[in-house]
């Protein structure tokens, strides 16, 4: 999971570096002369293309982004079941962000017959479906509404998998959270109340 974040950061940093050196004249007299010279020289398109190719290989693939969706959407179920609405809100927003990210990685796929599948449009239809308004369900803090919306969303997930010629990627209600680190109980004791007492210190 962390690997992706790091890879994205590295890619963003590298891309930023390339663009900065090409586009942004930074201050200082020495650099100003260099920039003036650079402005006359044609940009090295071949090097830029090679750099883009290199960066493409560093960026996480769509399946990786989807594993993040899996993680957040799984945890969302348990946050809702525990009626921990701020946590559910967090996991829903992360789910959506990561679906959007996955779609940005490959916006248009080809199905087995070579037809274009526009993932962006499928995502839009999910976002607009009145049955899939998870944000509303979480805001209403209504568990029944939450559960129903979650199930509809699973239909949404699957519709895109089917359209992408991956009908074998069948979502199911998760049996356990994807994290052991986060406590789903809205009344969970916070870590500072769980510190071991130092021998000899006054008890509370
Ligand atoms: C807009 C299209 C789209 C939507 C919406 C979508 N998926 Fe996916 N999902 C894909 C595609 C495409 C793949 C296969 C990616 C690949 O193989 O490169 C995939 C793969 C996956 C995988 C397999 C990842 C792996 O490598 O093990 C999981 C898990 C997954 N999706 C979960 C979900 C869940 C959960 C939702 C709904 C909350 C969802 N997806 C919504 C398009 C979508």
| Domain 62-163, CATH | 1.20.120
Give pLDDT tens digits along the chain (204 positions).
Answer: 444 444 444 444 444 444 444 444 444 566 666 666 666 777 899 999 999 999 988 989 999 999 999 999 999 999 999 999 999 999 999 999 999 999 999 999 999 999 999 999 999 999 999 999 999 999 999 999 999 999 999 999 999 999 999 999 999 999 999 999 999 999 999 999 999 988 776 655
DSSP string, the chain: -HHHHHHHHHHHHHHHHHHHHHH---SSHHHHHHHHHHHHSPP-HHHHHHHHHHHHHHSPPHHHHHHHHHHHHHHHHHHHHTT-HHHHHHHHHHHHHHHHHHHHHSSEEE-TTS-EEEHHHHHHHHHH-GGG-HHHHHHHT-HHHHHHHHHHHHHHHHHHHHHTT-TT------SS-S-SSS---TTPPPGGGGPPPPTTSPP-
pLDDT of residue 198: 81
**Residue-range domain boundaries for the chain:** 2-58, 62-163
pLDDT of residue 38: 62
Residue nearest to atom 36 of ligand 1 (CA): 157
pLDDT of residue 72: 98
Confirm or reject: Cβ of 132 under 6 Å from ligand 1.
no
Output the CA 24–ligand 1 centroid distance in Å: 38
Output the CA 157–ligand 1 centroid distance in Å: 7
Confirm or reject: Cβ of 95 under 6 Å from ligand 1.
yes
Output the CA 63–ligand 1 centroid distance in Å: 7
Confirm or reject: Cβ of 69 under 6 Å from ligand 1.
yes
pLDDT of residue 42: 78
The model carries a pTM of 0.79
Output the CA 21–ligand 1 centroid distance in Å: 36
């Amino acid at each position: 999971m962390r690997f992706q974040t790091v890879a994205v950061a590295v890619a963003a940093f590298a891309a930023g570096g390339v663009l900065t050196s090409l586009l942004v004249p930074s201050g200082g007299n020495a650099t100003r002369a260099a920039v003036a010279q650079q402005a006359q020289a044609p940009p090295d398109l071949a090097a830029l293309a090679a750099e883009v190719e290199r960066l493409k290989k560093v960026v996480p693939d769509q399946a990786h982004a989807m594993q993040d969706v899996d993680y957040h959407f799984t945890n969302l179920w348990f946050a809702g079941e525990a009626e921990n609405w701020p946590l559910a809100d967090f996991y829903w927003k992360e789910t959506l962000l990561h679906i959007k990210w996955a779609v940005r990685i490959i916006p248009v796929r080809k199905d087995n017959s070579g037809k274009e599948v526009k993932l962006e449009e499928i995502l839009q239809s999910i976002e607009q479906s009145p049955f899939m308004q998870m944000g509303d369900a979480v805001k209403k803090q209504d568990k029944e509404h939450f559960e129903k919306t979650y199930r509809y969303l699973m239909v949404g997930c699957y519709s895109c998998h089917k359209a992408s010629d991956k009908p074998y990627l069948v979502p199911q209600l998760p049996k356990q959270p994807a994290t052991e680190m986060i406590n789903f109980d809205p009344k969970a004791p916070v870590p500072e109340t769980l510190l071991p007492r130092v021998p000899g210190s006054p008890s509370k």
